Amino acid sequence: MSACSVSTTPGGTTQGAGQQDDGPIAVGFSQATQQSPFYVQLREGAEAAAKQAGAELYFADAGGDVTKQNNDIQDLITRQVDVLLINPVDPQGVQPGIAAAKAAGVPVVTVDRPVPEGAVAHVGRDNKAMGALVGERLSKQLGPDGGKVIEIRGDAGGAVARDRSAGFHEAVAANPKIKIVEGPYSDYVRSKAVTAMQDLLQVHPDVAAVYAHNDDMALGALQVLKENGKDKVLVAGVDGLMEAVKQIPAGQYVATALNDPISLGTKAVETVLKVQKGEKVQPSIDAGTALVDTDNAAEYVGSGEFAQAAQ
């Protein structure tokens, strides 16, 4: 298994940990991918929270492959974890893994991407609200003249991409002068967005703005626009990636929405530990968001990889 363990108990064992009444809680974390800064930080947040709580965390990276993720989940169950945290590659495709966990009596909590059934709780953010916040701000910036907006999408079939798209579309619908061109799915990866934007710009040289389902892809689009002298084309994304936040004061990058993965990973592990202890948790836990634009970007600039909400 492509995994590593994090032991926070001196002399703690990684064998049969889930079966020890007096041993540390064993948490299995199956993650969709590590190919984006967001997911790297999500893992780091989960690992730090597990360490602080004195739990052991076993990590597996599916690498965007749902078949591998189902195999990873089975391996984590074999390691006798007490509870599973799953960031699904595909909400439907991961159902065999969730079914295996249920059969083994291991409760499941999902993070970032929900599943239609099988999870005790989901910890995430309102992605539709994120899309709407950014859509409203971009629509305001475009003004009554509107224009053509290219949308670079996340992952096909994913709830996050679906909701970030729906929120954005609803927000800009009030301006009939805005025409949305749905670009390809670029899986939240900057390099894929660069390739997509290069092709899209050839077909749509009159583009007025670009909205991407995350900042990493939006920054890829911004790179292509600058390389082609398109300094007037507006750009917006989601996640509050610090690199994007620092671009906002210059004006071309209009807005992003907060989605700090460290705090999300922390809250996910806190929820997992409550579930394992038999405490009651809400089926859907919203970690919150906020708009970052030219009015407040300076307040969020920091040394972290993602902007954090004020405590």
Domain boundaries, the chain: 3-124+261-280, 127-258+293-300
Residue 21, pLDDT score: 53
Superfamily of domain 127-258+293-300: Response regulator (3.40.50.2300)
- Give the span between the Cα atoms of 105 and 118, in whole angstroms: 12
Q: Which of 86, 3, 10, 31 is nearest to 272 (CA)?
A: 86
Q: Tens digits of per-residue pLDDT, 178-196?
A: 999 999 999 999 999 999 9
Domain 3-124+261-280 belongs to what topology? Rossmann fold (3.40.50)
Residue 1, pLDDT score: 33
- Give the span between the Cα atoms of 264 and 269, in whole angstroms: 9
The yes-or-no answer to whether 3-124+261-280 and 127-258+293-300 have a common fold is yes
Residue 310, pLDDT score: 62
Residue ranges for the chain with pLDDT beneath 50: 1-20, 311
- Give the span between the Cα atoms of 196 and 221, in whole angstroms: 8
Residue 7, pLDDT score: 30
Residue 22, pLDDT score: 60
Stated pTM of the model = 0.80
HSE-up of residue 198 (Cα within 13 Å, Cβ side): 9
Residue type, 301: V
